[in-house]
Amino acid sequence: MATFQPVRGTHDLVGDTARRHAHVIETARRLAHLYGMEDVDTPVFEFTPVFARTLGDASDVVRKEMYTFADRGGEEITLRPEFTAGIARAFISGGMRQNLPLKFFAAGPVFRYERPQKGRQRQFHQIDAEILGVEGPQADIEVIALGHDILAALGVGANCRLELNSLGDAESHAAYREALIAYFSGHKDKLSADSVERLERNPLRILDSKDEGDRALLPDAPRIEDSLNDHSRDFFQAVKDGLDALGIAYQLNPRLVRGLDYYTHTAFEFITEDLGAQGTVLGGGRYDGLIELLGGPATPGVGWAAGIERLAMLLAAVPERPRPVALVPLGPAADAEALRLAHQLRAAGVTVEHGYRGNLGRRLKRADKLGARAAVILGEDELARGVATLRDLDGGEQREVPLGDLVATLAPPDGAVG
C-alpha cells in the first residue's frame, strides 16, 4: 500500500463533521444533566464474556460483529460493541449497589464488524443513558422523555417518530416466544431461509422481517398482548400513561423487537425516514435481568443508546463557531504586544485569532475567512501613541482605541460567550 487509507468503516472527524459531532454530544450531555444523570466513562475494551454473556449467543452482534482478540498476555478481549454491558460491569465491580438508584450518561466510540454503508460504520459513536435500580415505570418514562428532549433540542424531533412496544417480563417473554415457535413451526415451508434460521435463534425477529412471504404470515401470528401477564400489562399501561401525560407522541408497534437478548418490558425506538435503511436513531428499553446475568445483584435497569453520526447527519445546519477577534500586529514590537493582548482578551472571554504571518492585507484576508467580527491592527505608529486601530469587519468602519480600553470594548457582556 503506497499511501494509507483509513481502515474500512472508520472515519476522521474534521471541520464541519467534528463540529456537528461535538454539538450532538454537548446538547445531549446538557439535557442528561438536567435529568440528574452523571457522566461515566468505561473502558473501550472488556473481557469478552462481558459482552458475549449479556448480549446473547443468538445475537448477530456476538456471532459475527465483535472485534475480539487475545492480547499479548493471552486475555480474551473485545472492543465494546455497545455501552450497557460495560456500564453494568462497572456497576458490579465498583460495588455501587449502595447508591441506587443511579443515572448515567456516556458518550464515545463503539465497534462492530459490519458491512459499512451510510449511517453504518465499523467504528462509530454513541451517546448512552441508563437508569439503574428503579423497578417502576417512572424510569422508563423519564429515559424516553430524555431521548425525546434531546432530539427536540437538536432540531430533529419533527422528523422522528417514537415506536413503542412491551416484551413483557421474563415469564411473558418466554410464553410469547413459545407461542411464536409453535405458530411459525406450522408454516415453516412458507418462511424465508433467514426466518427459518431465526425460528431457532430468535423467533421474535421474524416479526421484523421484510420478506413478503414472512409478512403474509404475520396477521395470524400470536400477538404479544395476549402473552403479557397482568403485571406486564399494568407496567406497559403505566409507561403509556406517563408518556401521554408528558405529551410525548408514540406509535405502538407490536412487531418492534430488539436484537439484544437482555431486553424486557419496554422497548422503543426513535425512527427517521431520512437516513435510508439505517432509520433507527435512538433505541433502547428495559433490561431487568442483565446485571444478574453478569453475576451481580439482581438490579433493574432501563436505558438507550443513540448513534451520534446518524444524529449529526440529521442536523439541519452546521453549528457555528464563535466569531473571533483577529489580532493584526505589524512588526516585532507589535508582535510582543499582540501576545500580551491576546492573553488578556481570552481571560476576559473573547475568542482571539492570531494571523501569525503575512502583511496587513494577508492577515485581514485570513481574518475574514475565519469569520472574525473585528480586527485589532497594531502598527508601529499606533503603538508609539498607545492605541490600536479597531476595525469592524462587517461594516468596515474603523477607529482608534487606547490599548488599555480594548478589553472593555471587546469583552462580551457578563456571562455571554464571545
Residue 51 cell numbers, joined: 459482552
How near is the Cβ of 337 to RNA at its closest, in Å?
13
Q: Which strands, in side-by-side order, build the sheet including 398-402?
A: 352-354, 325-329, 374-378, 387-392, 398-402
How near is the Cβ of 232 to RNA at its closest, in Å?
21
Nearest residue to 324 (alpha-carbon basis) of 368, 276, 265: 368
Alpha helices in 306-390 (DSSP H): 308-314, 332-347, 360-369, 380-385
How near is the Cβ of 8 to RNA at its closest, in Å?
3
Choice between 41 and 234, CB closer to RNA: 41
DSSP 148-172: HHHHHHTT-GGGEEEEEEE--SHHH
Binding-site ranges for RNA (CB under 7 A): 2, 5, 7-10, 59-61, 65, 82, 112, 114-121, 124, 126, 194, 198, 205, 208-211, 258-260, 269, 276-283, 305-307, 309-310, 330, 358-362, 364-365, 367-369, 377, 379-382, 389, 391, 393-396, 398
Choice between 251 and 359, CB closer to RNA: 359
CA-CA-CA-CA torsion sign (245, 258, 170, 206): positive
How near is the Cβ of 247 to RNA at its closest, in Å?
23
Choice between 159 and 398, CB closer to RNA: 398
How near is the Cβ of 260 to RNA at its closest, in Å?
6
How near is the Cβ of 73 to RNA at its closest, in Å?
28
Instruction: List beta partners, residue 352.
Output: 325
How far is the C-alpha of 379 from the C-alpha of 369, rounded, in Å?
22
How far is the C-alpha of 127 from the C-alpha of 149, rounded, in Å?
14
How near is the Cβ of 99 to RNA at its closest, in Å?
26
How far is the C-alpha of 360 from the C-alpha of 379, rounded, in Å?
10
How near is the Cβ of 362 to RNA at its closest, in Å?
6
User: 98-103 contacts: CB < 8 A, separation 24 or more?
Assistant: 100/132, 100/133, 100/299, 101/131, 101/132, 101/133, 101/134, 101/139, 102/38, 102/130, 102/131, 102/132, 102/133, 103/35, 103/36, 103/37, 103/38, 103/129, 103/130, 103/131, 103/132
Task: Compute how many other C-beta atoms are within 10 angstroms of the C-beta atom of residue 183.
Answer: 15
User: Distances from the Cα of 191 to the Cαs of 52, 169, 256, in angstroms?
Assistant: 28, 28, 19
Choice between 230 and 394, CB closer to RNA: 394
Choice between 95 and 276, CB closer to RNA: 276
Choice between 175 and 383, CB closer to RNA: 383
If DSSP codes are grouped into helix, strand and coil, which group holds residue 266? strand
Choice between 245 and 317, CB closer to RNA: 317
Choice between 209 and 299, CB closer to RNA: 209
How near is the Cβ of 230 to RNA at its closest, in Å?
29
Choice between 194 and 335, CB closer to RNA: 194
